[in-house]
Structure 1
Amino acid sequence: MNRKQKQLSVFFAAFILTITTVFSGFTPKAEAAGDQLGIDAEAAILVDAETGKILYEKNSEVVLGVASMSKMMTEYLVLEAIKKGKLKWDQKVRINEYVHKLSGAPGLSNVGLTQGEEYTVKELYQAMAIHSGNAATVALAEALSGTEKNHIEKMNKKAAELGLKDYKFVNSSGLNNKDLLGRHPAGSPDEENVMSARSLAKLAYHLLNDYPEVLKTASMPSLKFRDGREYKNFNWMLPQLIYPYEGVDGLKTGSTDFAGFGFTATAKKNGQRVISIVMKADSKDSRFAETRKILDYGFNNFTKEELVKKNYQVKNKKTLPVTKGKEDKVKIHSKQAITMAVRNGEKDQYEPVLVLDKKKLNENGELTAPVKKGEEIGYLTIKSKKGEEINFLTEDAKKQVQVPVVAAENVEKANWFVLMMRGIGGFFGDLFGGITSTVKGWF
């Protein structure tokens, strides 16, 4: 092959790659996306960050190595402790001999930590979140829980609280235990943290929604540390780095020989935020290329839509009957709007569903006066007109597309005289009705 032919070959290869990237987002159906996206990774998932609705998944329940993406759990626990006042950002942490040696271990991601020197929680947190500092993570674990072993117990307990199903934490950093200089806080000497893509997505979902301030650090392209060095963020899809992608501002990468290359990304465009997970990709670069395909697919195919307006009234259920009130019915409506990411052009494929609180109703399906304006009497949710299940990460996430239904007006309780006259009227009405029926029976 001569030089000209080689140039043409390279040109056409680049052209095909570009076309593939551009059109990878335009997949007709989410259910078929696993085949048509052709994600070159062992597992992947894409979810709407606001509602937890699953937009795409591939092998999402397969348990795999999670590597440094497991540091998101330590991030969660640190931010939780900060909120509860159990840790402070300016709190000093003294570096012991083990953490110092781990920070200098060859081949591991670290910032230099000097034995006997004190670092603030904020410094260690930034080292962990930006440059995936393993020794910094251990230092935080010890500061938060006393020992890393205690911290592992907290990580597994919190995972259960957050509804993660497929997981096991054996250390705080995500390294293989064999790389911890002869120590392993839990598990076997050559074990490491494992999770499924769906569980990892749940962790990222809770981290973003419970502590959105996590993005302030995760979005920093580099860290200037006190050792005089500048450490780059391993999230190369941040706008300032190697593979920039509009809207990417987090979250965490991870890699070990066992886990391969993984990436938990989050990006926001046009008011819509998504979370994507790629697990066990072949290389540093490919995990970002596969993430780009998934993000393109999400933003090109799904739009955040208002499916139910605020103060919406369900057809044929605009009012509820009221007993013992000055009025015999009350108007009801939704307290808020319902919004959800839906496939382009399919907004009309969803319909509202009214669910009344049975505890509020008597055996005749009536509310009992007094009824106060704004009183919650049930909720409104949505369903697919085709009968297709709408998949969410958790039951709590599913509640994001449920809004309260409330009374739109006051209904005061009728006074004793009105109630008595109604009772008398009802008695004679029933009596007259009985007599009429009897007379009719004679003929």
Structure 2
Amino acid sequence: MKNHKSGFKWTSIFIAAVLFVGWTTAPAQGQAPDVEAEGAILIDVESGKILYNDNIDTMLPMASMAKMMTEYLVNEAVEEGELNWDDEVMISQELADLSHNQQLSNVFLREDVPYTVQELYEAMAIYSANAATIALAEAVAGSETAFVERMNEKAAELGIEEYQFVNSTGLNNSDMQGNHPEGTPADGENMMTPRGTAQLAYHLIQEYPEVLDVTGTEQMLFREGDELDEITMRNWNEMLAGSGSPYAYEGVDGIKTGQTAAAGAAFTGTVEQDGTRLLSVVMRTADIEARFNETEKLYDYGFEAYSWEEVISEGEQNEEISELPVPNGKEQEVSIEAGSHLTMPILEDEQDLYTTSVTISEDVLDEDGALSAPLEAGEEIGYIELDYEGEHEKSYLTDNMEKSATVPIIASEDIDRANWFVLSMRGVGDFLSGLWG
């Protein structure tokens, strides 16, 4: 990965409240990979910018990646006081029986033994334990049926456009021995697009970043010291940096694998290197090894083909246009500057295809279209927007994320309104100046 810091180059003029600005960045190297998956997406987490996409809006089975929504809702329940990590959960006979199905990913659970929310959560996030997942769903909502309703409601709340949750685990309902949630099809599958899956993962790691402490755990003992039920839970994510796997990749710390007959092998991953975090989804790859190989292609492409440029620095001013007129102020000009920094991933050979435009907000303009006092230091008077003029699609994970390509323009100092006498004298002066002219 390449990181560069380049100053914001204000080189244009103020026209109709908009500044058109040019800047340059350093080139990066790399070509878009051929990712062998039915759908794949790679995003830069900080900006939400999509770095790679292929068939990202097709609904596909998501298998155990559905557990990311269960993880989200469990964390939300703890945050809101509905659950505590040390709360004890009792297991039904049906779940105990399901947990002993060795054709599914499980830790053994017993009907007469209490389990903490924490240990069930770790079994779900690390080992993809299915009966433990359902136990958590019941602890949150009272029943898995009610929990599935929450899953669908939360997907809508998060702005995910296409989704279908039929259970908490990602299993096909037919694998649940007739115990699938009431009201869902007996052969139902959890479905989502690669884009929607990335949105779910984005919200999970942004709102509950501590989830990565668990999903990044290579292995853990379940029920340590229990002679009957102790089991080593090895994380199914073989890309974890410390896993010792041939697929290990520096900086990978999440998030969730998935595999069913309908879904094939899928993987939602995230990796951080040098302060830059990428998020990826691959769906319907050929096999469990392919999901990691294809993800590796995405990460190599992201870090090699893009350079992360600080194109605007906080507090930076334009050498030519560092002030704007304030006709009714005590001081008739105000110094302006960038209110925050902007760092963006820039693709190879496209450093000359970006410009920036600065728009002054109508709210701070008077009826003559000029800045109007009073103004306070730090007050936002407009924004700088990064504009792309190339052929590649300019896209973000969500429409709202496109706002990440803007920073505010602020007043650098207080400007008080001039009193009526000063304004009157200026009016007389302007009148006399007009006569003289």
Match of 1:384 in 2: 388
Is structure 2 residue 432 aligned with structure 1 residue 429?
A: yes
SS of 1:95 mapped into structure 2: coil
Match of 1:240 in 2: 242
CA contact 1:308–1:352 (8 Å) conserved in 2: no
Distance in 2, matches of 1:350 and 1:26, equals 18
Equivalent residue for 2:222, pick from 225, 241, 244: 225
Alpha-carbon spacing, 1:207–1:38, altered in 2? closer, same or farther (3 Å):
same
CA contact 1:131–1:223 (8 Å) conserved in 2: no
What is the deviation of 1:80?
2.0
Alpha-carbon spacing, 1:378–1:86, altered in 2? closer, same or farther (3 Å):
farther
Distance in 2, matches of 1:270 and 1:425, equals 59
CA contact 2:64–2:170 (8 Å) conserved in 1: yes
What is the deviation of 1:116?
3.0
Letter in 2 for 1:53: K
Residues 130-145 of structure 1 correspond to what in structure 2 (within 5 A)? 130-145=126-141
Equivalent residue for 2:166, pick from 161, 170, 173: 170
Distance in 1, matches of 2:328 and 2:77, equals 51
Return 134-143 or 413-422, whichever deviates more: 413-422
What is the deviation of 1:189?
0.6
CA contact 1:307–1:350 (8 Å) conserved in 2: no
Match of 2:195 in 1: 198
Distance in 2, matches of 1:80 and 1:370, equals 43
Return 338-347 or 197-206, whichever deviates more: 338-347
Distance in 1, matches of 2:236 and 2:49, equals 27
Match of 2:7 in 1: none
Alpha-carbon spacing, 1:40–1:156, altered in 2? closer, same or farther (3 Å):
same
Which one has more relative contact order, counting CA pairs under 8 Å at least 6 apart?
2
What is the deviation of 1:253?
0.1
Match of 1:209 in 2: 206
Match of 1:87 in 2: 83
Q: CA RMSD in A?
A: 2.1
CA contact 2:105–2:129 (8 Å) conserved in 1: yes
Match of 1:340 in 2: 344
Greater share of helix: 1
Match of 1:5 in 2: none
Match of 2:279 in 1: 275
Return 125-134 or 344-353, whichever deviates more: 344-353
Residues 46-57 of structure 1 correspond to what in structure 2 (within 5 A)? 46-57=42-53
Distance in 1, matches of 2:319 and 2:129, equals 57
SS of 2:262 mapped into structure 1: coil
What is the deviation of 1:414?
1.5
What is the deviation of 1:67?
0.3
Return 316-325 or 60-69, whichever deviates more: 316-325
Distance in 2, matches of 1:101 and 1:314, equals 69
Equivalent residue for 1:370, pick from 365, 374, 377: 374
Letter in 2 for 1:269: Q
Match of 1:100 in 2: 96
SS of 1:307 mapped into structure 2: strand
Letter in 2 for 1:54: I
Distance in 2, matches of 1:387 and 1:276, equals 23
Match of 2:35 in 1: 39
CA offsets, 1:398-436, max 9 Å, x none? 22222221101111122232233334445x438x63xx8
CA contact 2:29–2:306 (8 Å) conserved in 1: no
Distance in 2, matches of 1:166 and 1:70, equals 14
Equivalent residue for 1:161, pick from 157, 163, 183: 157
Match of 1:128 in 2: 124
Distance in 1, matches of 2:305 and 2:61, equals 30
What is the deviation of 1:348?
4.3
SS of 1:77 mapped into structure 2: helix
CA contact 1:305–1:342 (8 Å) conserved in 2: yes
Distance in 2, matches of 1:214 and 1:318, equals 45
Matched residues, number: 402
CA contact 1:314–1:352 (8 Å) conserved in 2: no
Residues 67-86 of structure 1 correspond to what in structure 2 (within 5 A)? 67-86=63-82
What is the deviation of 1:238?
1.0
Ranges in structure 1 where 5+ consecutive residues have no aligned partner: 1-24, 438-443
Match of 1:250 in 2: 254
Is structure 2 residue 145 aligned with structure 1 residue 149?
A: yes
Match of 2:326 in 1: 322
Match of 1:117 in 2: 113
Letter in 2 for 1:199: G
SS of 1:47 mapped into structure 2: strand
Alpha-carbon spacing, 1:284–1:351, altered in 2? closer, same or farther (3 Å):
same
Letter in 2 for 1:232: R
CA contact 1:272–1:303 (8 Å) conserved in 2: no
Distance in 2, matches of 1:311 and 1:358, equals 22
> What fraction of aligned residue pairs are identical, expressed as a percent?
46
Match of 1:302 in 2: 306
Distance in 2, matches of 1:374 and 1:27, equals 40
SS of 1:215 mapped into structure 2: helix
What is the deviation of 1:107?
0.7
SS of 2:279 mapped into structure 1: strand
Alpha-carbon spacing, 1:364–1:266, altered in 2? closer, same or farther (3 Å):
same
CA offsets, 1:269-318, max 9 Å, x none? 22211111111112111111111111111111112211112223357653
Letter in 1 for 2:279: I
* Larger-Rg structure: 1
Q: What is the TM-score when the length of structure 1 is the normalising length?
A: 0.86
SS of 1:368 mapped into structure 2: coil
What is the deviation of 1:98?
2.2
